[in-house]
């Protein structure tokens, strides 16, 4: 199994500001670990840097500084094509992430062959069908021949999940995997992700705006504000006993604040006074300067 160790991850973007260009720090000294069989949720508002972290982990972007190491059980570093095989992503938009011209079978067969998981057409076919069964797309024979437009949003996202797992993923980055799906089917897809994670002992980073599912589906939560981690700890502790004003604000803007701990509306923190130079670490039970490396729980 593989783990991911992220240390002081920082990403600057150059953005045009009139005729000048300036640097914008999208991710600022973020450190965390993903370990087999555990889910870490990354929560924060739009623009807080969540997807940038996902892109850095999947090597769609390069860090400005800091490191991302994927390590095997015995501490060896996973690199090159093994990294691309082991670290897989499920994107937010199941409509844009599948190719309308190709069948479901093609989407899953391609990574199998690319990463040499199967040797011939027959074994590829049977593995494709097995993957479809695993993500509950049945009857698999029939689903395999469909094209993306012949599937519902939830079914498309199941194809995307099967495609991510096909190469033998050990680390799954799920960037708001259900936010574009109808509310009624979100839980089904999240439960599927949870089951696959347990079966394959995946290390999962679950990116979401939604504190309720972050609490339900993850072990640890990182709260991100302007690219900095401002609160971290076990999911229940962060949601039920938020310490940082920003986490309290997030809890207040959630649909059912009563469910999310004892934050009352009348004590809403002042957004302009949010101090993201400090981070509350529930594992330590103390405040630390944000950007300080994670201390093992």
Residues near Mg ion (CB under 5 A) are 50-51
Q: Which does 228 bind (CB under 5 to 8 A by kind): ligand ATP, Mg ion, none?
A: none
Instruction: Write the DSSP string, 122-177.
Output: HHHHHHHHHHHHHTT--SHHHHHH--GGGS-HHHHHHHHHHHHHTTT-SEEEEEST
Task: Look at the block and give the residue holding tokens 């949720």.
Answer: 41
Comparing CB distances to ligand ATP, the nearer of 43 and 112 is 43
Q: Contact at 8 Å (CB) between 185 and 17? A: no
Q: Angle between the 153-165 and 104-114 helix axes, to the nearest 10 degrees?
A: 10
**Count of chain residues binding ligand ATP (CB under 6 A):** 11
Q: Which does 15 bind (CB under 5 to 8 A by kind): Mg ion, ligand ATP, none?
A: ligand ATP
Q: Which does 291 bind (CB under 5 to 8 A by kind): Mg ion, ligand ATP, none?
A: none
Q: Which does 52 bind (CB under 5 to 8 A by kind): ligand ATP, Mg ion, none?
A: ligand ATP
Q: Contact at 8 Å (CB) between 164 and 98? A: no
Comparing CB distances to ligand ATP, the nearer of 52 and 124 is 52
CA pair distance 110, 127, nearest whole angstrom = 12
Comparing CB distances to ligand ATP, the nearer of 176 and 281 is 176
**Residues within window 8-47 making contact with ligand ATP, judged by CB under 6 A:** 13, 15, 26, 44, 46-47
75 three-state secondary structure: coil
**Residue choice 35, 39, 41, 49 for contact with ligand ATP (CB under 6 A):** 49
Binding site for ligand ATP (CB under 6 A): 13, 15, 26, 44, 46-52
């Amino acid at each position: 199994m593989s783990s991911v160790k992220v240390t002081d991850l920082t990403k600057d973007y150059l953005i045009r500001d009139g005729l000048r260009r300036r640097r914008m720090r999208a991710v600022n000294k973020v450190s965390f670990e993903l370990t087999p069989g555990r889910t870490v949720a990354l929560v924060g508002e739009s623009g807080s840097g969540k997807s940038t972290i996902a892109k850095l982990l999947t090597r769609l972007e390069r860090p400005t500084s800091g490191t991302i190491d994927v390590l095997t059980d015995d501490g060896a570093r996973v690199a090159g094509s093994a990294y691309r095989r082991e670290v897989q992503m499920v994107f937010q938009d199941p409509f844009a992430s599948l190719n309308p011209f190709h069948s479901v079978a093609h989407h899953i067969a391609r990574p199998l062959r690319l990463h040499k998981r199967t040797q011939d057409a027959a074994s590829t076919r049977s593995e494709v069908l097995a993957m479809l069964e695993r993500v509950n797309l049945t009857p698999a024979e029939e689903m395999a021949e469909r094209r993306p437009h012949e599937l519902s949003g939830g079914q498309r996202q199941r194809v995307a999940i099967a495609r991510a797992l096909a190469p033998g993923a050990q680390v799954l980055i799920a960037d708001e995997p259900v936010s574009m799906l109808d509310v009624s089917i979100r839980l089904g897809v999240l439960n599927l992700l949870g089951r696959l994670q347990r079966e394959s002992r995946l290390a999962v980073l679950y990116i979401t705006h939604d504190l309720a599912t972050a609490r339900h589906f993850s072990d640890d939560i990182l709260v991100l504000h302007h690219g900095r981690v401002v609160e971290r700890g076990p999911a229940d502790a962060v949601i039920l006993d938020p310490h940082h004003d920003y986490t309290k604000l997030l809890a207040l803007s959630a649909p059912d604040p009563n469910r999310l701990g004892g934050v009352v509306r009348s004590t809403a923190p002042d957004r302009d006074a949010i101090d993201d130079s400090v981070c509350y670490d529930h594992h330590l039970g103390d405040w630390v300067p944000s950007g300080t490396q994670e201390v093992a729980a």
